[in-house]
Amino acid sequence: MEFLVAAISLGFLGSFHCVGMCGPIALALPFGNQSPLRRVISRLVYNGGRIITYGILGLLFGMLGKGFIISGYQQALSIGLGVFILVATFMPQQYVARYGPGRYMLSLVSKLKAAIGKQFSKNSLPSVLSIGLLNGLLPCGLVYIAVAGAIATSTPIKGALFMMVFGLGTLPAMMLISLSTQFVSINFRSKIRKAVPVFVVIMAAMLILRGMNLGVPYISPKLDKADCTKQSCCHHKQP
């Protein structure tokens, strides 16, 4: 259950970063002049689309993590992901802009934004769902960190669950900001943003400790080769 706590905490604390990145899209959603209930439903559908996309990403990257386990690289994977998160957290923004993955995805981002723009003119719940699904694919540093967590779960199901719980963690702030910006003050958002790096560093440290195989329950459990073998062999016991 620890990975679910990490997922929802990352989503909730990071959601105030999401407000700055995805807030304009959420605020511009159709049905702005409709009844309050219609507005709430449309925002839930939009955020549901984001969460579905996150779940699919978690499933795919969880499969990648499982491949590392089968290959016997579980410890190296956990340590490597922890180091990656630390580097990504403390890397100056100018280097992120220059060397980050976003610069290589400009063509994809342009296509995604064009597709999102087409959906705005349709003014229907399916179009709002499509906006959410596509929005979940837009490059985001926080999502990259969540994906690293999904890989560390080392199973497709846990990876999907991690990403969906992460998405649920972002839901309260995204709903509030899309319905009324008055609910979340700039001062409060600023304080939460300052807390995000602290939690991310703790998450990275936990991944590194986990990979070090120190034999500390829940923090760095001892993983024997026999344990890895059990995951891929038949559990049937001879009488």
d(CA 147, CA 144): 5
The domain tally of the chain equals: 1
Provide the pLDDT for residue 203.
84
Determine the length of the chain. Answer: 239
Three-class SS state of 183: helix
Residue 189 lies inside a defined structural domain of this protein = yes
Residue 239 lies inside a defined structural domain of this protein = no
Cβ burial 142-151 (10 Å sphere, 16+ → b, else e): bbebbbbbbb
Provide the pLDDT for residue 236.
43
Provide the pLDDT for residue 158.
94
Residue 179 lies inside a defined structural domain of this protein = yes
Residue 220 lies inside a defined structural domain of this protein = yes
Residue 238 lies inside a defined structural domain of this protein = no
Quickly tell me which residue has 């922890």 as its tokens. 82
pLDDT digits (tens, 9 = 90+) for 10-55: 888 887 766 666 667 777 777 656 788 888 898 899 999 999 999 9
Residue 236 lies inside a defined structural domain of this protein = no
| Residue 21, domain extent | 2-231
d(CA 72, CA 20): 40
Residue type, 121: S
pLDDT digits (tens, 9 = 90+) for 20-31: 666 677 777 776
57's CB contacts (< 8 A; 6+ apart) are 136, 143, 147, 150, 163
Most confident of 18-22, 90-94, 183-187, 227-231: 90-94
Q: Summarize the confidence of residues 105-109 as an average pLDDT.
A: 74
d(CA 53, CA 25): 16
pTM: 0.78
